[in-house]
Structures are given as C-alpha cells and as structure tokens.
C-alpha cells in the first residue's frame, strides 16, 4: 500500500510538472508568434482579433463558413490597398494586387510555392494524395525535371492531333443533350461537362475509354470526395480529431486509394506494352513513366512519384475545364446579346459541319473572348502563393523576409482599378485590339509554374462550346442561385440547371 501511495504521489507530481511545462511551452509559442507579428506591424491590414494570434480566429471563421475567402480578400484589398497583411498563427501572409510584385514574384523561379498549403497537399488524412507531383513540388530542380519531361505531351503538334478526340467526346455530349431536349427534362450542365472533360483526359492522357455519359463510374465521385476532403484538411486542423467526421475521413481515404490504385494498374499496363516494343502514344501516361527514370533502377518511391502525377493530371485535367464551361454556359444564359454575337460567329465559322478543325479554333475569336472573360470573373483556380525568403519592397512598403505572399486572380479580376465595371460580363475587354491586362489577369498563374495544360484546356473548351452553341439553346431554370462554391477550385453552386432546346437554323 505504501508503495502504491508513493507511486501515486510521484505520478501526481509528474502530472503537475507536465502541465507546468505545457503552460510554459504555450506561453513561449505565444511570445514567438507575437515576435513574428511585430516585424510586420507597419504593414496595413484588417484589425487583429487578439494580441498574440493576430487574425487567426477570423480566418478560421471564414474558412468554415459559406463566405468565399477570395471575396474577403477583395474587400480587404479595396479597404487597405495593394499590400496588406494577415497574421495567422506564427505565419504572416502578405496579400498583394500590385502588378509589379506579381510580375517580380510569379515570373521568377527563385520563390518557392507556399509550404503551408502545398506541403499539406502531399497527403489527405494519412493517405498520399498529390505527393510531389508537378503542381505540389516545391523544389525547383525537382519540378523542372518533371516539367521538361512532360512538355512533349503538350506541344502544339501533339495538341493538333487531339482534335479528333475532342470532337468525338463533344459529340457524345450533343447526343446526351438531344435526349434532354426531346424529353423536355432539366439538365445539370456542370455534371454533364464534368463527364465530358473526365472522358477526354482519360482518353488522351491515359488511353482509357470511360464513356461516362453512358456508363457509371466511381471516378467522378472519388474526385469530388478528394476535393471536398482537401478543403477540410487545409482549413480545419481539428477536423480529424472529431469522432463525428470519421466516416467522411474514411471516404476520403478510400477515394485517394481508388485513384492511386487505378493509376498503378494503368501504369503497369502501359509499361508492359512498352516492354513488348508496342507502339504507344506520347501522351501524359508515357511521360509520367519517363519521369521515374529507367525501369530497372525504379524504387518504391519512384512508383509513388508516378502516381503523384497521375492523380494530379487526372483531377486537374478535367475539374477546372468543366467548371469554366459551366460558368460560361451560365453567363451566356444570362446575356442573350452576347450569346447572339457568339452564335453568329460560330455559324459563320463552323456552319453545319460536325467536325471542328484546329484551324477553325483560331477563327473563333469572339468565343475566345467569352472564355477569357469567364475566367476573369470565375478563375476556376482562384489564386496561388509563394514563400519570400528575402526582404522586399512592394509599392513603397518594406516587407521583412520570411513571409508568404498571396496572389488572387479572383480579387484582381474584380477590382475597378484594373477593369472598368468589373462585375459586368463583357468579352470585349479581351478584343484583340484592346489593351492587354498588365499582370492582373492570371487564371493559369504566370511564369515557369504556370499551368502546363492551359492550351489543352482552352482547345477542349472551345470545341465543346462551339458545338453546344451550334445546335442548342440552354435556357436557365428560374429560381436557381448563381453563387460560387469553393471546393479548392471554384464551381457554380447550383450546377447550372438548364432546359435544353434544339436550335432552329432558319431563325
């Protein structure tokens, strides 16, 4: 009994010491946070919520609410100017809309991607997600090696050869829309274009026919689950600790596993074909295999590295294009005068022919303007961020080294100082003779880390929109919201619900 009492007493003392040490550690952390924040006190910004934690409570509240974070950035930019700070825990985020700073930082390879965001995308709830793929790799040499190997899959010559697939998959959408028009049933356009863009990337990047407009597949739901999980993982550090969230977390893990297991199977099938000396396309899948080097020296980490890029292209190759198409359909439905102009151009260039050629795309000038204006108002990848490890002066404000700078193409695209009447949908802003936006329009980012697939995406979008405009009216269902949903990418919250009607070409 005496020994038990002694042990109990020692345990009690140890607990007291542990609590004391935790309190000391917490106070030390708070003092460290305060020290970091004080270096940036001279930079304007919204009022802090607390002396130590800066804007952390506000940011967490924004992240968990329906308020679009980039709308808040727009509000702060209009209030505090082209440079303002946000103190979040022990980090300082400097948000800027300065074109010169945008040019300096995004166009240079010496500013790595923000570790707070991009390192967390390595995995989701313990399952490897984007890893060190082309989007998330922070080391410049590691990224550059991948980019150099991937470039041939996006050369203009190779993209020209994809026109047949773009036309074929778009035709399947036209057949599906014919069913909606004939049955007079409501169509969810976001879902339909998602099926098409996922079909396209599966076919042209990985040589696989999914035919999602006809067949059921777990992939669309897996991608949506991963993106939703990604937002919780980035925005709520305590999400994983809540027992109520376990079922959803397991769904996210299973979705990650499905995508990576699918990638492993497709990669092995392609490698087997290459070993047999079969002709294989110079597509993304072939390039992904080449990124890992010689097969005989391939390690388990090399295999995971290939899967990182598979998941990256599988998701990014369809998600952003589908959202752009849905937003474009939504805006044309709200602006019949613009629809009339783009319809005339499509009729003049395409006429009644079924297959659109690569040369036709270059003649669809106004449609290009419409798609660019869509991305100005609704940049599907709304922002990016970089770590700055040296002192910098932005618009006359000295900023000490060690901060993260945030660029929001959504914010700059909606500011009066860059675009007149910015909330008005006006494709003439991008007329060939109009002044080019000076580092305030970057829906595909800028510089060496700009989106590798932007030309691919815009060719695909043009083919789908041209065929849609050529053959159908999309009449927006009344009463739906035109709000934006942030799932890592921006998408129309309502899904863009339409009644589909056949066009009468004698009108």
Annotated binding site for heme: 451
Summarize the chain as % helix, strand, coil (round to 5): 60, 10, 30
Judge whether 449 and 113 are in contact, CB under 8 Å.
yes
The bridge status of strand 497-502 relative to strand 186-188 is: antiparallel
User: Binding site membership: which residues?
Assistant: 451
User: Residue 402: CA atoms inside 13 Å, Cβ hemisphere, count?
Assistant: 10
Question: Which tokens is 414 given?
Answer: 């909606």
Give the residues across from 397 on adjacent strands.
Answer: 394
Helices 454-471 & 163-183, crossing angle to 10 degrees? 40
Strand residue runs (E) in 390-507: 392-394, 397-399, 403-408, 472-476, 484-486, 490-492, 497-502
Question: Which tokens is 302 given?
Answer: 């090399």
Q: Dihedral, CA atoms, 495, 445, 455, 149, nearest 10 degrees?
A: -120
Judge whether 334 and 476 are in contact, CB under 8 Å.
yes
Question: Which tokens is 229 given?
Answer: 């999980």
Q: Is 406 helix (H, G, I), strand (E, B) or coil?
A: strand
Evaluated on CA atoms 279, 281, 287, 288, the torsion sign reads negative
Judge whether 363 and 344 are in contact, CB under 8 Å.
no
The bridge status of strand 403-408 relative to strand 91-96 is: parallel
């Amino acid at each position: 009994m005496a020994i038990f009492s002694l042990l109990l007493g020692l345990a009690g003392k140890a607990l007291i010491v542990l609590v004391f040490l935790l309190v000391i550690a917490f106070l030390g952390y708070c003092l460290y946070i305060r020290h970091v924040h004080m270096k940036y006190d001279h930079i304007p910004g919204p009022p802090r919520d607390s002396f130590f934690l800066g804007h952390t409570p506000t940011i967490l509240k924004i992240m968990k609410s329906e308020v679009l974070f980039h709308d808040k950035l727009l509000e702060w930019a209009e209030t505090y100017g082209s440079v303002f700070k946000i103190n979040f825990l022990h980090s300082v985020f400097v948000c800027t809309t300065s074109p010169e700073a945008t040019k300096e930082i995004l166009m240079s390879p010496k500013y790595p991607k923000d570790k707070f965001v991009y390192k967390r995308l390595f995995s989701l709830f313990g399952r490897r997600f984007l890893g060190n793929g082309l989007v998330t790799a922070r080391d410049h040499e590691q990224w550059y090696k991948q980019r150099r190997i991937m470039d041939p899959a996006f050369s203009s010559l190779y993209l020209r050869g994809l026109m047949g697939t773009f036309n074929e998959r778009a035709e399947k959408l036209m057949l599906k829309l014919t069913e909606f028009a004939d049955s007079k049933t409501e169509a969810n356009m976001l879902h339909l274009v998602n099926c098409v863009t996922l079909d396209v990337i599966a076919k042209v990047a990985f040589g696989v026919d999914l035919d999602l407009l006809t067949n059921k597949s777990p992939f669309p739901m897996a991608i949506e689950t991963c993106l939703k999980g990604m937002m919780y993982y980035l925005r709520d550090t305590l999400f994983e600790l809540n027992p109520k969230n376990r079922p959803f977390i397991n769904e996210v893990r299973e979705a990650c596993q499905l995508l990576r297991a699918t990638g492993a199977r497709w990669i092995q099938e392609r490698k087997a074909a290459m070993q047999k000396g079969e002709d294989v396309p110079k597509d993304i899948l072939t390039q992904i295999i080449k990124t890992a080097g010689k097969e005989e020296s391939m390690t388990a980490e090399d295999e995971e590295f290939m899967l990182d890029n598979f998941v990256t292209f599988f998701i990014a190759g369809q998600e952003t294009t589908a959202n752009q198409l849905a937003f474009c359909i939504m805006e044309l439905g709200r602006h019949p005068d613009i629809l009339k102009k783009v319809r005339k151009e499509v009729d003049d260039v395409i006429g009644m022919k079924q297959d659109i050629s690569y040369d036709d795309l270059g003649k669809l000038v106004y449609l290009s303007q419409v798609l660019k204006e869509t991305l100005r108002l609704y940049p599907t990848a709304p922002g990016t961020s970089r770590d700055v490890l040296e002192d910098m002066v932005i618009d006359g404000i000295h900023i000490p080294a060690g901060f993260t700078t945030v660029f929001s193409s959504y914010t700059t695209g909606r500011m009066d100082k860059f675009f007149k009447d910015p909330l008005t949908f006006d494709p003439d802003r991008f007329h060939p003779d109009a002044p080019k936006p000076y580092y305030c329009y970057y829906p595909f980012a800028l510089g060496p880390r700009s989106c590798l697939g932007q030309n691919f995406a815009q060719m695909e979008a043009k083919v789908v929109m041209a065929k849609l405009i050529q053959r159908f009216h999309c009449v927006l269902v009344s009463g739906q919201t035109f709000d934006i949903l942030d799932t890592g990418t921006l998408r129309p919250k309502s899904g863009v619900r339409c009644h589909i009607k056949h066009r009468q070409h004698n009108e």
